[in-house]
Amino acid sequence: MAETALFSSAALARVEELFTRRGWTPFAFQRAAWAAYAEGRSGLIHAPTGMGKTQAAWLGPVLEWLSAHPAATQRNAAPPLSVLWITPLRALAKDTTAALSATCAALDLPWTVELRTGDTSSHVKQRQRKRPPTALVTTPESLSLLLSYSDTERQLRHLRCVIVDEWHELLGSKRGTQTELALARLRQWQPNLRTWGLSATLGNLEQALAVLVGVGDRAQGMGNREDAAQPPISHSFYPIPNSQYSSPDPQSPLLIAGDATKEILIETLIPSDMERFPWAGHLGVKLLPQVVERVLAARSTLVFTNTRAQTELWFQALIDYAVTEAPELIGAIGLHHGSLEPKLRQEVEARLADGRLRCVVCTSSLDLGVDFAPVEQVMQVGSPKGVARLLQRAGRSGHQPGAVSKVFCVPTHAFELVEFAAARDAMGRGEIEARPPLAKPLDVLVQHLVTVALGSGFAANGQREWDMNGEATAPNDTAPNDNEALPGQALFDEVRTTYAYGDLTAQEWRWALDFVTFGGAALKGYREYARVQERNGQFRVLSPQIARRHRMSIGAITSDGMLNVKFQNGGALGAIEESFAARLKPGDTFIFAGRLLEFRRIKEMTVQVRKATKSKGVVPRWQGGRMPLSSYLADAVRLRLATAAAGIYDTPEMQAVQPILAIQQRWSHIPAAGELLIEAVKTREGHHLFLYPLAGYQVHEGLASLLAYRLSRLAPRTISAFATDYGCELLSPTPLPVGDEASWRQILSPDNLLEDILLCLNAAEMARRQFRDIARVAGLIFTGYPGSQKSTRQLQASSSVIYDAFVTYDPDNLLLEQARREVLERQLDFGQLRRTLEGMAAAALVLASPRRLTPLAFPLWASRLRSQISSKSWSDRVARMVMQLEKAAG
């Protein structure tokens, strides 16, 4: 045990004994993580769920403490707060707390492990502040909230380690950036703090590590962004030679891979009678009997879907089916998604854990999870959308070390068969999606500045200047100068140690500080404005009302225009989107939380419902339910099609879909590698153009608008544009002015892309919508205190109204700029759009004019139709079309 020599042998023996008692042996990666922790390093442990990541991170600090306290037992007094465990989901926090506590008890440690999230009652929180536990399990929001109290620094003076669980879930989101800022604060207080992250498999693990550990102290010239982006030591995902677990540099953070022995199998349920022309969005309940058969064969099953709406639909379909066909499942099927009331979710989790539920239909709310939740098998309904996602979901089964993780894929339309085959290909090649972190979102910075001002406060004048002159001078408002200290220089330096704000400029810093002190340039000199004020050389929040409001809104990053759904007698069910609720009329029925509900009215931000007497209802749609196909998976699909074009059908999925692809080949063409297929079809609706770049929904949406704009510029006309993950469709009542290759090359040119995109999309309107999120994070929207919404109504304004006020009276506000940037980068994925167009410019064009909609075109056509007309007439019309096409296919 040379690598863990820094821990005492007695401590190691105690842990070994625990493993033996449980019938385990520590994995090499677990030992490696403990050793690295003993050396004082930070690191990121990545492994599929269920591999023992939790113990790899948790036992480091435990071993260290045990080495110093060899005789300790549970009868000793609990040590002070030493470990913070950050988890992205409240739902996870409870399980994690239980798991960590259990380990401590089994080791006979006097450690206490407690939970602190938004659900924790205020008296528990107060007790925790008086007598903190040894380890605190919390969320990024609750951690930020802790930073807003002035005694937190003292509370955390014994802190040795922060462990961030499911780091991949936070990375790439504003919550991740919020975590980065909080970690920078904690490191400022405890320079020797070790940060450990746990992550699922990602394509950018090295970057994920750099984001987690920060980029060092810039003010002293130690480390910079370039170095940090590539940590000196890293391990590839599969496989890891154990000898490489140590690094020549004793300080550098480590990337540690879990053992790769866990096998992942993807098996697809093949429809017995392949519908010839299935379409996107079809429920796919034809496979219900096969799904139920699998469910009956296992002790416990998770059925993952892609959207909350799909979860509700599948739950209904399963219980309806169970009544007649599988009575043993009655009462044994559960429903779990992020919009349900926490109590309902917890109930489902508990009933799954103790075996009362045999099947839970869920969304990514159950993607993550504590390693010990017993699930025997996993199913994925519909497209996996991404390789990492399918890997993660598959990992929820086969938790016993050495067991095989198996995921049964349930296609809802024919081309998902191709996607499943492609996902297996990509997984085999180790092509896993990256989650790029966000670059300096100013709304999160603004929130953090208020949080810090509210907590410990921060020095108003630059420390350097103070040191040089022996006294503080007023901050200078003129152009930034490198030698001159900024207002709040010390915090500026601290913020710049994060990866996100590593290149924050002095100008952006000044703006953010102005915004929280004056309210921004437009409010400069407006004396009544007081969010953050300078007092005795410190930036502080002085108003108790502002303090209270800020604390209330710290956690608001995740909620998004949601209205609570309650029975009239008060029973709470969860939340639906405002936009959906606004379309409901009294008496309308909808399906939610697995129940059929009748809408009564909206009152005080609450949707009042009662049990419906009708038997049918619509299912709410949640924004953001639409997840685009990842570019890795899209690439893999393109390769699969190219293989099919070459006549190779070598997996069960491809064999099943072969008859459909044969028709595609006969009527039009299957795009081979390096080809772009464009189909022109005339129907009663008009003249359609279908393009299949296979670049994912987001890119196709931008592309469709761009092409429609450029075509209508050639000759004014009405063109409807529509996109899916596979391609886009343009529809016009008159023939479109493209026929030959030269005209297409012109239309598809990557030149003037940005100008054209901004002109053709309603970029202003998109920015206005994007601003909603920004305004909430930056504290411009206040959603009210729980239970007392009325008292704050006079301070409520919609983000749209605030956006208009900013555009009119403060057009240079950087938050507006951020909204525009987020639209381009996050909604449109402009970079990917450009790359796609460049790829198309290099591709060989295949122009086909099939006589009718081809199998590739049909899903596009059908989903467009669905977005236009009500669901009932939609399915009728699609069914009619299917019959016609099947007749034609003969």
- Contact segment (CB under 8 A) with other proteins among 233-241, 274-282, 309-317, 802-810 equals 802-810
Q: Which is nearer to other proteins, 244 or 720 (CB)?
A: 720
791 binds other proteins (CB under 8 A): no
526 binds other proteins (CB under 8 A): yes
Between 502 and 521, how does the x/- string for binding to other proteins read (CB under 8 A)? -------------x--xxx-
- Please report how close the Cβ of residue 517 comes to other proteins at its closest, in angstroms: 10
**Encoded tokens for 88:** 């992205």
CA distance 344 to 329: 19
Q: Which is nearer to other proteins, 99 or 450 (CB)?
A: 450
- Please report how close the Cβ of residue 273 comes to other proteins at its closest, in angstroms: 34
DSSP string, 706-727: HHHHHHHHHS----EEEE-SS-
Footprint (CB under 8 A) of other proteins, residues 574-603: 582, 585
Closest to 52 measured CA to CA, from 69, 33, 75, 73: 33
CA distance 449 to 50: 38
Residues 6 or more apart whose CB falls under 8 angstroms from that of 847 comprise 678, 680, 739, 740, 741, 744
8 Å CB contact between 83 and 61: yes
564 binds other proteins (CB under 8 A): no
801 binds other proteins (CB under 8 A): yes
Q: Which is nearer to other proteins, 690 or 806 (CB)?
A: 806
- Please report how close the Cβ of residue 785 comes to other proteins at its closest, in angstroms: 13
782 binds other proteins (CB under 8 A): yes
- Contact segment (CB under 8 A) with other proteins among 54-62, 109-117, 749-757, 808-816 equals 808-816
- Contact segment (CB under 8 A) with other proteins among 197-205, 416-424, 455-463, 524-532 equals 524-532
Q: Which is nearer to other proteins, 280 or 333 (CB)?
A: 280
Residue 864 exposure: Cα atoms within 13 Å on the Cβ side: 19
447 binds other proteins (CB under 8 A): no
Residues 6 or more apart whose CB falls under 8 angstroms from that of 287 comprise 269, 271, 410, 411
CA distance 853 to 680: 9
Q: For the chain, what's the residue count?
A: 890
- Contact segment (CB under 8 A) with other proteins among 283-291, 777-785, 824-832, 852-860 equals 777-785
List 74, 242, 272, 545, residue binding other proteins (CB under 8 A): 545
223 binds other proteins (CB under 8 A): no
- Please report how close the Cβ of residue 581 comes to other proteins at its closest, in angstroms: 10
- Please report how close the Cβ of residue 625 comes to other proteins at its closest, in angstroms: 14
Footprint (CB under 8 A) of other proteins, residues 851-870: 867-868
762 binds other proteins (CB under 8 A): yes
274 binds other proteins (CB under 8 A): no
CA distance 607 to 580: 11
Strands 83-86 and 161-164: parallel
8 Å CB contact between 334 and 311: no
804 binds other proteins (CB under 8 A): yes
For the stretch 172-175, contacts whose Cβ atoms lie closer than 8 Å and that sit 24 or more positions apart, written own/partner, are 172/435, 172/436, 172/437, 172/438, 173/438, 174/438, 174/441, 174/443, 174/444, 174/557, 174/773, 174/777, 175/88, 175/140, 175/141, 175/557, 175/558
- Phi/psi for 818 (5° steps) reads -65, -40
- Contact segment (CB under 8 A) with other proteins among 47-55, 269-277, 779-787, 869-877 equals 779-787
Closest to 455 measured CA to CA, from 553, 538, 558: 538
Closest to 639 measured CA to CA, from 674, 593, 609, 688: 674
Size of the site for other proteins (CB under 8 A): 40
Cα 206–Cα 407–Cα 409 angle in degrees, nearest 5 = 110
- Please report how close the Cβ of residue 521 comes to other proteins at its closest, in angstroms: 9
8 Å CB contact between 365 and 345: yes
| Sole residue written with tokens 């390096």 | 674
List 18, 98, 298, 522, residue binding other proteins (CB under 8 A): 522
Between 868 and 887, how does the x/- string for binding to other proteins read (CB under 8 A)? x-------------------
Q: Which is nearer to other proteins, 20 or 762 (CB)?
A: 762
Residues 6 or more apart whose CB falls under 8 angstroms from that of 534 comprise 460, 517, 540
List 346, 720, 789, 827, residue binding other proteins (CB under 8 A): 720
523 binds other proteins (CB under 8 A): yes
Q: Which residues bind other proteins (CB under 8 A)?
A: 515, 518-520, 522-523, 526, 528-531, 543, 545-546, 549, 582, 585, 720-721, 762, 765, 779-780, 782, 794-795, 797-798, 800-802, 804-806, 808-810, 813, 867-868
